[in-house]
Amino acid sequence: MKRRVAILISGRGSNMAALIDAAKAPDFPAEIVAVISNRADAGGLEKAAASGIPTVVIESKPFGKDRAAFEAVLQRVLDEKGAELICLGGFMRLFTAEFVQRWYGRMLNIHPSLLPSFPGLDPHGQALRAGVKLSGATVHFVIPETDAGPIVMQGAVTVADDDTPDTLAARVITIEHRIYPEALRLLASGRLKLEGDLCKALGRAVSGGTLVAPTLK
């Protein structure tokens, strides 16, 4: 039985599209049952509809700072769709601790840095200002703290000396589109185990490979 997934977006939905494409495979252990946006002008809504995925708009602006009231409406929609798991794909609204606790272990987010480094806004600019040689993306379980929570999967790219936030972002997003579907696959197939603040993947081999930058000769 495939797990039922709702994707929450606020913008173009590039990671949403990667998840939808992955879920088209017959052996993928999850199905996307709804795409929910807190903005009616989110570009991802059109992409989702074109893929035959039901879309729902819950405008967050009328709720102002009343997160609980917004979440009550969101929860009703999730219940109506029978959602079992949530994937955040550029969803630009913070949740209450109560909502996060309700979905703990069942809600994933992706952030374009190698957490715990560079959480929050402008992660690529943060990475470049720090002078790191590797950056990347992280899929993690959602907890009340922003861009925190048990790490499920990470992918890395090298950072060039002449990178800008835009050029680095373009490379990192290719990694995002690879690891987010794989992280969802692990969760939906019951192969993730939470132990306190840590997440472990069951039956997942680690290659033991290394990535060094700059390249050594």
111 is catalytic: yes
Are 151 and 194 members of one domain?
Answer: yes
Distances (CA, A) of 67 to 25, 87, 181: 36, 19, 28
Q: How many residues does the chain have?
A: 217
Are 122 and 99 members of one domain?
Answer: no
Are 64 and 130 members of one domain?
Answer: no
Query: Per-residue pLDDT for the chain (217 aa), expressed as one digit of tens each?
Result: 999 999 999 999 999 999 999 999 999 999 999 999 999 999 999 999 999 999 999 999 999 999 999 999 999 999 999 999 999 999 999 999 999 999 999 999 999 999 999 999 999 999 999 999 999 999 999 999 999 999 999 999 999 999 999 999 999 999 999 999 999 999 999 999 999 999 999 976 666 677 788 877 7
**Catalytic-labelled residue, pool 111, 124, 140, 177:** 111
Give me the domain span that covers residue 10.
1-103
Q: How many domains does the chain have?
A: 2
Are 123 and 95 members of one domain?
Answer: no
* Among candidate residues 114, 118, 200, 212, the one with its CA nearest the CA of residue 156: 114
47 in a structural domain = yes
Are 72 and 128 members of one domain?
Answer: no
Are 28 and 119 members of one domain?
Answer: no
| CATH (domain of 121) | 3.40.50.170
Are 116 and 205 members of one domain?
Answer: yes
Are 67 and 128 members of one domain?
Answer: no
Pick the last residue of a domain from 77, 103, 129.
103
Are 87 and 121 members of one domain?
Answer: no
- Beta-carbon contacts of 38 under 8 Å, excluding residues fewer than 6 positions away, are 8, 10, 57, 58, 59, 60, 70, 91, 92, 93
Are 68 and 123 members of one domain?
Answer: no
Tokens of 105: 């272990």
pTM: 0.95
Are 82 and 119 members of one domain?
Answer: no
